[in-house]
Amino acid sequence: MTDPHALRSDGADHDQVVPPLLTDQPAKVLASLPDGVALVDGSGRIQWANHQFCQWCREQVREGINLFDALGRPDIEGPDPAPLQAALEGRSTGETTLRTADNRYFHLHAALLDNGGLAEPRLVVAVRDVTHTILEQQKRAAIHQAGQTLADLSPAELADMTVAERIELLKSNIIHYAKDLLQFDVVEIRLLDQRTGRLETLLSEGMQPEAEARILYAKPENNGVTGWVAATGRSYRCSDTTRDPLYLEGCKGAKSSMTVPLLMHDQVIGTFNVETPEPGGFTATDLQFLEIFSRDVAAALNTLELLVAEKATTAAESIEAIHGAVALPVDDILNDAVGVMEKYIGHDADVVDRLQRILRNARDIKQVIQKVGEKMAPSSAHTQLRQGDRRRALLGRRILVADADEQVRAAAHALLERYGCTVETARDGAEAALMVRACGDEPYDVIIADIRLPDMSGYQLLLRLQQLMETAGEGQPTKVPLVLMTGFGYDPGHSIVKARQAGIDLVLFKPFRIDQLLDTIERMLSRRQDVVKA
């Protein structure tokens, strides 16, 4: 057994030094600890150290050597810059983190020892090797920082890049960080087509061509680990590919793999797979690192998809700039007009007629500007804008968006009008109700409202709209075409729960992708059509 009283780490014979306060039995106990323990005097000189402490020291540990000299004069990173002094003064137990020249980290804890009547103070210093924990924390932070830059492009850079170039940049960044930071040489990312359930390859590095071309679906059986992960939304670590029934060969000679889902608001949007020829080549920590990185990859992919939807070409961008400059000001005219008209209904028919003309003219202004802009755009821009042809159900539909955020209202115009919708907006619930009441023979096909408007909740708006529509329909029950928007996980006053109890079950969680917005509107339109047929 190692001599518990040793003060040197070289194993040579030497005199034993047993301080008066340290008997043989406690010394043996301290010697067996996995942490380093040392007894030092008021000047910080070592009087005794256990074997583990000696093993960590760069210099030969001998009686009287300074504690920090023995540890190789490490940098003190805090929180306490003078832990021994803090313990001696009785202010607290001194605690700090040390970093050595060879990039090892130690947590030091110093406490004043009861001297049993001796005049000279003594400290018990415990030292723990926290290198693995610190380096893991640093790597986590580095992975997250890298993930934040995946789709970090300035407006100037975006203006000079095509959609294809932006996608290639994102793919290049993912591969770069996966290799240099995570040490993954074989990488595959597939995106889930929500309509077909098919997993389409976005990028593949180091995979065999036949594996890259393999058709996979988000199904737990007969679609490999990737299909299982996409279907279940759970990560999967394969330690031995030769014995795993789910594994389908991707990289030639791969012996282990990890696959994690790409999640956006708990919804699977794809998968991230890495492989290695080393058996058992991935640890649980590696899986955690991949999950951290995949969250940022999912966010970057979401951002990229919005960019693709928002900006197609420079010409299309010009059309949107022209229309965007007048969209919200015209909405302000509409809001003010219906507000004034409400006061004159039943009192002055002439004023009401004039205000109705203002409403019609304001709406015509937006349509004329949009048509002129489309005529000015080159044919290539029209080709891009005609992506709306795939959403024929949206053409000519009237949409009302109620949200206090001006950016949300502006985005509603920019995104939905590209698909042939006529969009109007309101800043609060009262304006939304007035717009609905004044729409006359052209009711809104869909109403989208934030659940937390400045003057009422989404559920209160639902009740108000139900009252207006039943009055217009001579008391007949009317289904309000309302879709609620909310920040993920936030539902003040349980508006969503109450609305769902009232039959409103279409909810958009911000931030949402453009396809989610369009799909939700189409579902609402389909439901209304079914009601009319019935």
For residue 383, which amino acid is it? Answer: T
Q: Which of 54-68, 398-412, 519-533 has the highest mean pLDDT?
A: 398-412
d(CA 384, CA 386): 5
Rounded Cα gap, residues 124 and 382, in angstroms: 78
Fold of 312-533: Rossmann fold (3.40.50)
- Share of residues in the chain with pLDDT > 90 (%): 16
Instruction: Mention every residue, 6+ apart, whose C-beta is less than 8 A from residue 89.
Output: none
| The pair of three-digit structure tokens given for residue 320, joined into one six-digit string | 């949107």
Q: Does the bond joining 511 to the residue before it have cis omega, within 30 degrees of 0?
A: yes
Find tokens 């920082």 and name the residue: 145
Q: Where in the chain is the domain with CATH 3.30.450.40?
A: 138-309
pLDDT tens string 43-94: 889 888 888 888 888 666 777 888 888 888 888 888 888 888 888 877 667 8
Long-range contacts of 516-521 (CB under 8 A, 24+ apart): 517/415, 517/416, 518/391, 518/394, 518/419, 520/483, 521/394, 521/397, 521/399, 521/416, 521/421, 521/446, 521/448, 521/483
Q: How confident is the model at residue 381 (pLDDT cuts 50, 70, 90)?
A: very low
* Mean pLDDT across 358-380: 64
Summarised one tens digit per residue, pLDDT across range 92-137 is: 678 888 888 888 889 898 888 776 656 678 888 899 888 777 777 7
Closest CA to 122 of 52, 15, 19, 18: 19
Cα(518)–Cα(524) distance, rounded to whole angstroms?
10
Yes or no: say if 38 and 67 are a contact pair by the CB < 8 Å rule. Answer: yes
Amino acid found at 230: A
Q: Among all chains, which residue has been given the structure tokens 């009711």?
A: 443
- Rounded Cα–Cα distance for residues 262 and 235 (Å): 10
Q: How far apart are CA 444 and CA 429, in angstroms?
A: 15
Mean pLDDT in residue range 396-415? 88
Task: Provide the H-helix boundaries in 33-182.
Answer: 51-56, 67-70, 83-88, 131-148, 155-159, 163-180
pLDDT reading at 154 higher than 60: no
Q: What is the signed CA dihedral for 265, 268, 272, 275, rounded to 10 degrees?
A: 130
- Residue 18 confidence (pLDDT): 42
- Which is more confident, 158 or 354? 354
| C-alpha to C-alpha distance for 462 and 433, rounded to whole angstroms | 10
- Give 175-209 as a DSSP string: HHHHHHTT---EEEEEEE-TTT-EEEEEEEES--H
Q: Give the pLDDT score at 156.
A: 54
Q: How far apart, in whole angstroms, are the C-alpha atoms of residue 146 and residue 170?
A: 12
> What integer pLDDT is reported at residue 136 of this predicted model?
72
Superfamily of domain covering 138-309 = GAF domain (3.30.450.40)
Which of 400, 519, 507, 505 is CA-nearest to residue 448?
A: 400
pLDDT at 383: 38
Task: Give the architecture (CATH level 2) of 24-129.
Answer: 2-Layer Sandwich (3.30)
**Residue 5 predicted with pLDDT over 50:** no
pLDDT at 246 over 90: yes
Say how far apart CA 368 and CA 322 lie, in whole Å: 11
Would you state the pLDDT for residue 338? 83
Of the listed ranges 223-232, 331-340, 367-376, 517-526, the least confidently predicted one is: 367-376
Hey, what's the torsion of the CAs at 392, 394, 398, 404, to 10 degrees?
-160
Quote the pLDDT of residue 231: 95
What is the C-alpha to C-alpha distance for residues 276 and 185, in angstroms, rounded to an integer? 7
Give the pLDDT band (50/70/90) at residue 386. very low
DSSP lists the bridge partners of residue 36 as: 127
Q: What was the pLDDT predicted at 91?
A: 60
Residue 521: pLDDT band with limits 50, 70, 90: very high
Report the half-sphere exposure of 311 (CA within 13 A, side-chain side).
16
Q: For residue 205, what pLDDT is reported?
A: 87
pTM comes to 0.42
- Structure tokens, 408: 């949300």
Q: Where in the chain is the domain with CATH 3.30.450.20?
A: 24-129
Span 513-527, average pLDDT: 87
The per-residue pLDDT of the chain, averaged, comes to 77
What does residue 3 show for φ and ψ, rounded to 5 degrees?
A: -60, 115
Which of the given ranges, 51-60, 152-161, 276-285, 389-398, has the highest pLDDT on average? 276-285
Query: Which candidate, 236, 308, 300, 230, places its Cα nearest to that of 269?
Result: 230
- pLDDT at residue 307, as a whole number: 35
Phi, psi of 139 (to 5 degrees): -70, -40
Number of C-alpha atoms within 13 angstroms, CB side, residue 455?
A: 11
